[in-house]
Chain A
Amino acid sequence: MLVFLVRRVVNAIGVMLAVAFLAFMIFRFVGDPVELMLNEQATQAQRDELRARLGLNRPFLLQFATFAGNAARGDFGISYRNQQEVSALIAERFPATFELVLVATFLSLVIGIPLGVFSAIRRKSFLAQAVQFVSVLGVSLPSFALGILFILIFSVNLQWLPAFGRGEVVSLGGWTTGLLTASGRAALVLPGITLSLFQITLVMRLVRAEMLETMRTEFIRFARARGLPDRSIHFRHALRNCLMPVITMTGLQIGNLIAFALVTETVFQWPGMGLLFVQAVTFVDIPVMAAYLMLVSFIFVTLNTLVDLTYALVDPRLRQTALAGGSNVR
């Protein structure tokens, strides 16, 4: 287990260095921050001087080495635009994104699993066919279009839910949450659903496919023969065996959701990391862009590792091999 972990960590560092390197290559093509930082009246000398002060005129590899060295110590510098520490900026935005992603994940499981089971066991019924059809829409509608549609219906026409923002938030020792206030909860609904719709259909289709597979296996037939009630067969026996891929996918998708939340966040002006990143791109705010990309790659790598570990916990066969080294993981 220890060897496994160490290998994973080394892997992760490699991946993150690669991401940082690629990000830095890209930054050379996103434009020149100095032109946006100074106003129209600044002279050429002032522009050159600022460029030198920011270290933008140094060779690429040297810039990268400085960045990697500072990043390793957790120092990402200050934002060119906001003049705030990048780590503080991201820490301030992270709870918003995380809360949104959690809500979306929760919705996708709570809605997606029952729908998947339903459309698997009543596969011929009209309703199941309809669900299948709607789910195609869910996969293919881009989230910005969906978000605008929701805003139009629920904010402008029905006036039930806010069109933008996060509502009132409560601060719990540096972590802000909107779950504790009415306006915060209301503000979560539309972006949460928008972000989760793709996920819901994904979970649903996955559960359906797995269920159909499992329902054909021997042990379900035996269970039937034993005269167990349908409910018990479907949920206790069949569904349980379908959950492995769902767990994997949900875990991996959390990373995706965090990364892709930026579209939803832009539509709903959700003050999360995605919005911060979009703003940083517009203003060529290199420190913020770099830190964001590092964080997202870190999340991806961590989630991958965690999913692998969960596998070992859920599937006894994998546990046997994983524990062969004699680790005390439990």
Chain B
Amino acid sequence: MGRIWLLAASAALALSTAQMAAPAEAKTLKWGAAREIASLDPYSFGDTFTLSVLNHVYEGLVRYTGDLKIEPALAESWENPSPTIWRFKLRKGVTFHNGNPFTADDVIASLTRVTHETSPLKGNLPAYKSAKKIDDFTVDIEVNGPYPLLLNDLTNIFIFDKEWLEANNATLPTDSGKGIKGYATDNANGTGPFMVESRRPDAKTVFVVNQKWWDKPKHNLTKIEFSPVASAATRVAALLSGEIDFTNVAPLQDLPRLATSPDIKVLQTNELRTVIFAFNLKDKLFESDVTDKNPLKDKRVREALYRAIDIDAVQKRAMRGLSRNTGAIVAPAIPGYAPELEPRLPFDLDGAKKLLTEAGYPNGFSFQMNCQSDGLVNEEEFCQAVAAMWARAGLRPNLSLGPRSLQTPKRVKGDFDVISFGWANEPMIDAYSILIQVLHSKSGSGGVFNWGSWGRPDIDALIDKAGVELDASKRIPMMTQALKIAKDETLFIPMHNQPMAWAMRANVETMVQASDNKPRLWLTRMK
């Protein structure tokens, strides 16, 4: 009876909404994302996804192509008059969405804003020292030492209009500490292929095409309707019912079902993020029955842990056959990767037990394993699988699972023995990112993520040298060498490159999916 009431009530209301089910306007792409962007201000929150959405509105001096090569955007060309000076020739005839012309002043104002001390994105431009206007279309950026990755960094530094910032009192970034919001938080004025038409947070943000875009558009969209749909099941339902045309986060467990639907196309590949296990290499374990020393400092023990992992089983069961197993800690698309880093130590349970016995732990030992429930793809599943495999080798891992916000502080403090860890090398897209932030010993400028004291002087020396080498043909082998040492010493256990999946309805003709998992809808065509 209750059901009949409900049916009647919903049917009555449904009649008035017949137009809702009508087919979408031909060139409007309805994008259902997994979460909302933090703000319309690209300098307000250091979040890769927010930046990738805002890249449709704002642009940097340079940008990545669909296959992750750097190409000119608002800058036409660049040169190094000296090792610490980068001279950029700016593109002429570019206008902002409000009609203002793009000039050197805008670049200076933007760089000043993004490197201001309260800007959360300050770290995205670590080498920046100052910027100088040479003429209206030439800018010099000075860096605080020879620095090879300025272009990579600049792909994510979007350019604001100086007059617009000044007119709206937004020349400084917003500051959460002071509790003042800024005009750019809800308003946008960039040079990009799309303009913000309207925004209702958590509901819908509408982008319309910028007819005056300086570049020749490869897309044929007139409008993008961006809606966050947090619940994965709802997102899939919305895609099946045609309420959205595209999602950049298709849940892995639904891929088989989506792929069989005639109206849906699935794009699936592996992203840049490489998942590894990292160790606590301090003098003592955090939580263990071995209290006088740290067994993990013994390379044989680390190798035993490595060999005890049946990676194919993890791939098939925990990752649903979608991950790419690897023995390298960076993905193949990352400069610094080399094929010799790829081979894994084989799965060898007896060998693992033998190594443990050799190291003096024939009966294993207990240790704490810190994993997150909402961090990496299927992290809970693969952590549980690996914990079981280690138990089979005679070890006693204590799995601590919790949300990212809870686990991160423990990780930062070093309160763990083994952690699952993922690094995409974004936004830099260069192995220098993981080397300086993760592998380097903790120091003034590096090793922020070196939570388990796994740094080594020989690796540090190579990283420091690569950090000031401008010649890529010398720099990249140095990075490969550093990664090789880490591999030979089994400092980490590489696992896999994460799977990523996008799904779209059949009316989306072309969609460029790069392994950095950023939708570039200015390359999208619809039927």
Which residues of A does B touch, CB under 8 Å? 29-32, 35-47, 49-50, 53-55, 75, 77-85, 88-89, 92-93, 107, 111, 115, 127, 130-131, 134-135, 137-138, 147-148, 151-152, 154-156, 159-167, 169, 182-183, 185-186, 188-190, 193, 197, 200-201, 266-269, 271, 275-276, 278-279, 281-284
- With A37-B176, A84-B185 already in contact, the answer to whether A165 and B1 are too (CB < 8 A) is no
Expressed in whole angstroms, the minimum distance between the Cβ of B328 and any Cβ of chain A is 19
Q: What 0/1 pattern do residues 163 to 187 of B give for CB contact below 8 A with A?
A: 0000000000011111111100110
Query: Which residue of chain A has the shortest Cβ distance to B424 in the bound complex?
Result: A40
Expressed in whole angstroms, the minimum distance between the Cβ of A223 and any Cβ of chain B is 28
Question: Which are the 7 A-B pairs with shortest beta-carbon distances?
Answer: A39-B46, A31-B405, A42-B123, A53-B177, A186-B17, A271-B202, A160-B14
Residues of B within 8 A of A201 (CB): 2
Query: Which residue of chain A has the shortest Cβ distance to B15 in the bound complex?
Result: A160
Contact pick for A275, options B6, B41, B117, B230, CB 8 Å? B230
Query: Which residue of chain A has the shortest Cβ distance to B5 in the bound complex?
Result: A111
Residues of B within 8 A of A193 (CB): 6, 9-10
Interface pair A32/B408, CB less than 8 Å apart: yes
Contact pick for A156, options B228, B240, B404, B406, CB 8 Å? B240
Query: Which residue of chain B has the shortest Cβ distance to A152 in the bound complex?
Result: B237
Interface pair B203/A266, CB less than 8 Å apart: no
Query: Which residue of chain B has the shortest Cβ distance to A81 in the bound complex?
Result: B38
Q: Is B48 an interface residue (CB 8 A)?
A: yes
- For this complex, 19 residue pairs linking A to B, each with C-beta atoms less than 8 Å apart, are A32-B412, A36-B405, A41-B126, A44-B448, A53-B118, A53-B176, A54-B177, A79-B176, A81-B38, A84-B186, A111-B5, A135-B2, A162-B20, A164-B32, A182-B17, A193-B6, A193-B9, A267-B234, A279-B202
Query: Which residue of chain A has the shortest Cβ distance to B50 in the bound complex?
Result: A81
Residues of A within 8 A of B404 (CB): 31
Interface residues of B in 208-225 (CB under 8 A from A): none
- Please report the C-alpha to C-alpha distance between residue A88 and residue B36 in the assembled complex, in whole angstroms: 17
Residues of B within 8 A of A85 (CB): 179, 181
Interface pair A115/B2, CB less than 8 Å apart: yes
Contact pick for A160, options B11, B44, B179, B200, CB 8 Å? B11
Q: Is B343 an interface residue (CB 8 A)?
A: no
Interface pair A268/B234, CB less than 8 Å apart: yes
Interface pair B177/A32, CB less than 8 Å apart: no
- Please report the C-alpha to C-alpha distance between residue A131 and residue B423 in the assembled complex, in whole angstroms: 55
Interface of A, helix, strand, loop or mixed by DSSP: helix
Interface pair A31/B2, CB less than 8 Å apart: no
Which of the segments B54-62, B93-101, B425-433 contacts the partner chain? Answer: B425-433
Interface pair B231/A267, CB less than 8 Å apart: yes
What number of A-B contacts does a CB cutoff of 8 Å give?
239
Expressed in whole angstroms, the minimum distance between the Cβ of A316 and any Cβ of chain B is 35
Q: What 0/1 pattern do residues 14 to 30 of B give for CB contact below 8 A with A?
A: 10110111000000000
Interface pair B177/A55, CB less than 8 Å apart: yes
Residues of B within 8 A of A148 (CB): 233-234, 237
Interface pair A45/B1, CB less than 8 Å apart: no
Contact pick for A35, options B36, B38, B121, B409, CB 8 Å? B409
Residues of B within 8 A of A53 (CB): 118, 175-178
Contact pick for A50, options B9, B47, B177, B200, CB 8 Å? B177
Residues of B within 8 A of A169 (CB): 200
- Please report the C-alpha to C-alpha distance between residue A134 and residue B5 in the assembled complex, in whole angstroms: 12
Interface residues of B in 406-463 (CB under 8 A from A): 406, 408-409, 412, 423, 426-428, 433, 437, 442, 444-446, 448-449
Residues of A within 8 A of B448 (CB): 42-44, 47
Q: Is B189 an interface residue (CB 8 A)?
A: no
Interface pair B41/A35, CB less than 8 Å apart: no
Residues of A within 8 A of B3 (CB): 134
Interface pair B35/A164, CB less than 8 Å apart: no
- Please report the C-alpha to C-alpha distance between residue A53 and residue B202 in the assembled complex, in whole angstroms: 28
Contact pick for B201, options A39, A78, A82, CB 8 Å? A82
Q: Is B385 an interface residue (CB 8 A)?
A: no
| New A-B pairs, 6, CB < 8 Å, besides A29-B406, A32-B405, A162-B243 | A31-B406, A47-B448, A161-B13, A164-B32, A269-B228, A275-B202
Contact pick for B10, options A30, A36, A130, A160, CB 8 Å? A160
Q: Is B120 an interface residue (CB 8 A)?
A: yes
Residues of A within 8 A of B9 (CB): 107, 111, 189, 193
- With A41-B428, A46-B122, A279-B35 already in contact, the answer to whether A83 and B176 are too (CB < 8 A) is yes
Query: Which residue of chain A has the shortest Cβ distance to B409 in the bound complex?
Result: A32
Query: Which residue of chain A has the shortest Cβ distance to B404 in the bound complex?
Result: A31
Interface pair B19/A271, CB less than 8 Å apart: no
- With A39-B120, A41-B124 already in contact, the answer to whether A164 and B243 are too (CB < 8 A) is yes
Q: Is B227 an interface residue (CB 8 A)?
A: yes
- With A54-B176, A155-B243 already in contact, the answer to whether A190 and B234 are too (CB < 8 A) is no
- Please report the C-alpha to C-alpha distance between residue A281 and residue B11 in the assembled complex, in whole angstroms: 36
Interface pair B230/A78, CB less than 8 Å apart: no
